Every structure is written in structure tokens, then in C-alpha cells.
Amino acid sequence: MGGYNGSVEFKIQFTKLFINGEFVDSVSGKTFETRDPRNAEVIASVAEGDKVDVDLAVKAARNAFDNGAWPRMSGYERGRIMMKFADLIEEHAEELATIDTIDGGKLFSLCKAMDIPHCVHLLRYYAGAADKIHGETLKLSGEFQGYTLKEPIGVIGHIIPWNFPTAMFFLKVSPALAVGCTMIVKPAEQTPLSALYYAHLAKLAGIPDGVLNVVTGFGPTAGSAICSHMDVDKVSFTGSTEVGKIVMEAAAKSNLKHVSLELGGKSPLIIFDDADLDKAVNLAHNAVFFNKGEICAAGSRVFVQEGIFDAFVEKSVEMAKSRVIGDPFNPEVQQGPQIDKKQFDKVLKYIEYGKNEGATLLTGGKSYGDKGYFIEPTIFTDVNEHMKIAKDEIFGPVLCLMKFKTIEEAIEKANATRYGLAAGIITNDLNIANRVSRSVRAGTIWINCFFIFDPSCPFGGFKMSGFGKDQGLDAMHKYLHVPVDPDVDADYVEAI
């Protein structure tokens, strides 16, 4: 594994719940373990929050919203504090990148080069937007002055997943902070550590007590308590479609809190004959293997036009075979371990389905090494739409290659899914690009690129990939209400 000696000196500083500005044990005193997926060893014991802890956190957030400074500050002042928060994160980037690598099996070099800078960027973006939240004055049909005001919704519950612990935290927290909401964050039980560190930095930055609370714990207990809470105004969830349904139902049964969901995908990548072959192979490779395949927008169904299909297959297999798997701290490594045993087992199961259902395994297909949760980059071809590997979200390094003839066929196949998160198109033909981008029912269409997550650009799915957008100014809408004030200009006028 190259000239890297494989050891990392690190001390985990924050392992307790963060409620109302203090790190506290859970009411029950219980803790749970978070493991290093490189070797399945325990990294730390973290406080395990449950319903009672969520209740305390919501009370703190409610008080901070109804009576505290944060929502009543000008957007400009909130922006200043958020900028300070961004600066502090930059100062501690090395430590934070290390935490996400150990906790999530993510590549250390990418955490430093992408994840952390991206979240800093998000914070600064929304810091600059906080004082630019505009309602409208309306021209009415009758003699009335009417206008809309955009107001923070209130107390938000953010339930975030383990695949991008830092990015997910800030995708949700930044716009919510900017508009003046208060919140409880429940990070995934697989990756609780960086969220607690961010809570510490938030306090240092000057975010008032109670505005940002972090309750570590499990979905069915802490997560569920947030979704059913009668005093949470909105829940924002990123995770699987299956759990997304549970979140929305709990919201409906309790207090009809607003819901936004960013769920799974089985995103198509459509490669036309006129594509530059090397670029296409590269994009497809990253579309599925990036972050060990643990990404909702993965281009897990790759449709290649028949003219370049054979050449494409050959180059893809070559590239997959040369992919370096190993310790994510090693800068030469391209792929770290899957997040935990459950995911590891699931991916291997899908690989078995693929073989059993008659797809052709071109490369990979097995676990790697004897410690931890590593899986070889895997490519199947001769995949048809009815196979499980073509329909279900695998969330691992498994690429399904399929051939197509015509543009109509590609569009039809691309849309033959209950998901609609993203899609990619590779072509230089303007008409193909315009036509296919308008025809594929997905929330984000990447043309000649993939995984471009620019902070200005709204991201969120269609169909069963969820609803609501992260990123862009749109993301703030999720955390804003729009009340309307019509009033009479002068004397009271009878309406009819």
C-alpha cells in the first residue's frame, strides 16, 4: 500500500450530546459505540440520545426561537456569526477531515480537498444570503395594499446520513441558520463524531445556546422522536426511501410538520456515440465508484450507445481493475471501506443477485482483504431492466452497463424507475443534450459532467427520490414561511 505507515494519532474530544450550549450525557446515561470501518474496531463511545433527550433539545430550540436573539437578529448579523463559524472550521480542517475518515471510511485527501472546503463554502454562501431574504409587494385587483413576508418556520429537525457527514450537516444547517431558525441535528449513528465537533465550533463562533443542538443516537429512537414531536415545525431528512416514508408518516400523524426528503436514486448515465471515449469512461467510473459507491446520486445505470459499447466496456474494466483499494489515509488509495457490516453484506448480496439473475460479471464481485469492509469495484454487463441490480439502489461499488440504440430507447429506459434523483448525459450534440435533458424525469441533469454540486445550484429529486431542494437560494425556502398581509389603504372598503 505504498510508503504510508498506516498509523494515525488521534484523540476524540467530543462524545456527549450538545443541548442548549452544553455537552451533556444522555438522560439514561446510555452510550453506543462508533466503529472504524477499516478494521471494525471501536473508535469511541458516544452518548446515546433517546426521546427524553430530544424533548430537552426541542425545548431549548423552542426557547431560543420564541424568545432568543437568533431569529430576531438582522440577517446581516447572523451572516457575520456564520462567517466566523466558517473560519473556525477552516482552522480545524485537518482534525475534522481525520474524524470523517475514521468514522466514515472516506478518503482523507478528499475530505481535506472537498468535503471540508465545500461545507465552508456553503456556510459562507448562506451567510451572504441571510440579509437578502425578500418578500414581495403585490398589485391587487381591489383597493388593497398587500405584501408577503418571508419568516423562519421555527424549530427544525435535521436527520442526516453517514455518507457525507460534514457536507450533509452543512447542507441542512447553513440555510436553516441563515433564515433564523433553530434546530436539532440527529447525525447517523455510524458517523456521530464530526457533528459534535461542529457543535463545539458553533458555540465558539457565537451561535447562541439552544440554536444548534446535536442529539446523537439511533433512527428508531432519537430520529423517530424528532419526526413525531409535537413542537418541531419541520423535519428535513436525507437517507433511504424506505425510512423517508416513515419520516413523512410520523410527521403527518403528529403535528403535520413540514417535511423535505432527499432519498435514494438509481440514476442513469447516458453515453452517446459522439462522446469522447476516455472522458466518458472516466466519468462513468467516478459516477459509480466515487465515495465507494455510497452516494445517493450515483450513476448506477450506465447506458452506452451501441457504436462505442465494446470499446467502452474494455476501457471500463481496465480502469476498474487498476483502482487502488485500501486505507483511506493513504494518499495513493482511491477507495476506502464500506461504512459498516450491514452495508458490506448488502452490497455482496446484490452482487450475488446479479450473478444469479444472469448478468455477466466482468470484474470485481468479491470482498477485499480480511479486515474491515472493503469491496472490489465491480462491473456487470448483459444487465436487463428487470434484474434487481438494475432496479434497486445498491449503495456500493457496483456498475451496471447496458447498451442502447436510439435516443428514444435511452430516454424510455432512463425514466423506467420509481426514482428521479439525477441523471447524466454525455454528448457534444446540442440537440441531443437539450432533448434528453428535458425528457429525463430527474431533479438534476449533468451534461458532460457528474457530481457537480455547486452551492448555487438547487439539488433534490423527483418521484420517489423525494422532494425539496438543498443548495442554492431555493434551499432556504424549506425553512421559510410566507405569510401575507393585505390591508386597506385608507378607509375600510366593503369587499363586494
Q: Which lies closer to other proteins via its Cβ, residue 223 or residue 460?
A: 460
- Least distance (Å) between residue 245 CB and other proteins: 5
Query: Phi/psi class of residue 20: alpha, beta or left (left: φ > 0; alpha: ψ in -120 to 50)?
Result: left
Buried b (16+ CB within 10 A) or exposed e, 481-493: beeeeeeeeeeee
Q: Phi-psi category of 259—alpha, beta or left, where left has phi over 0 and alpha has psi -120 to 50?
A: beta
Measured distance CA(218)–CA(455) in Å, rounded: 29
> Minimum Å distance from CB 224 to other proteins?
14
- The one-letter code for the residue type at 160 is I
Q: What is the largest CA-CA distance in the chain?
A: 83
Tell me the residue type at 494: E
Query: Any residues with CB less than 8 A from the CB of 12 and at least 6 apart, and which?
Result: 43, 44, 99, 193
What is the closest distance, in whole angstroms, from the C-beta atom of residue 290 to other proteins in the complex? 16
Least separation, in Å, of the C-beta of 2 and other proteins?
A: 30
Closer residue to other proteins, CB minimum distance, 7 or 492: 492
The DSSP symbol for 469 reads -
**C-alpha distances in Å from residue 25, one per residue of 14, 32, 249:** 11, 12, 30
Going by C-alpha positions, the residue among 431, 379, 436 that lies closest to residue 404 is 436
**Cell numbers 430520529 correspond to what residue?**
223
CA 173 to the chain's CA centroid: 12
Number of H helices, E strands in the chain: 16, 24
Closer Cβ to other proteins, 137 or 322, answer by number:
137
Marked catalytic residue, from 48, 189, 262, 376: 262
**Site residues, other proteins (CB under 8 A):** 121, 138-142, 144, 146, 148-149, 151, 233, 241, 244-249, 251-253, 255-256, 258, 261, 263, 418, 433, 437-438, 442-449, 452, 454-460, 462-464, 466-467, 469, 472, 474, 481-488, 492-496
Task: Compute the least distance from the CB of residue 115 to other proteins, in Å.
Answer: 16
Known catalytic membership, residue 262: yes
CA dihedral (357, 358, 360, 363) positive or negative? positive
Q: What is the DSSP letter of 293?
A: G
Task: Please report how many Cα atoms fall inside a 13 Å half-sphere around the Cα of residue 432, on the Cβ side.
Answer: 20
The number of CA neighbours under 13 Å toward the Cβ of 456 is 0
Least distance (Å) between residue 32 CB and other proteins: 28
The residues carrying an active-site annotation are 262
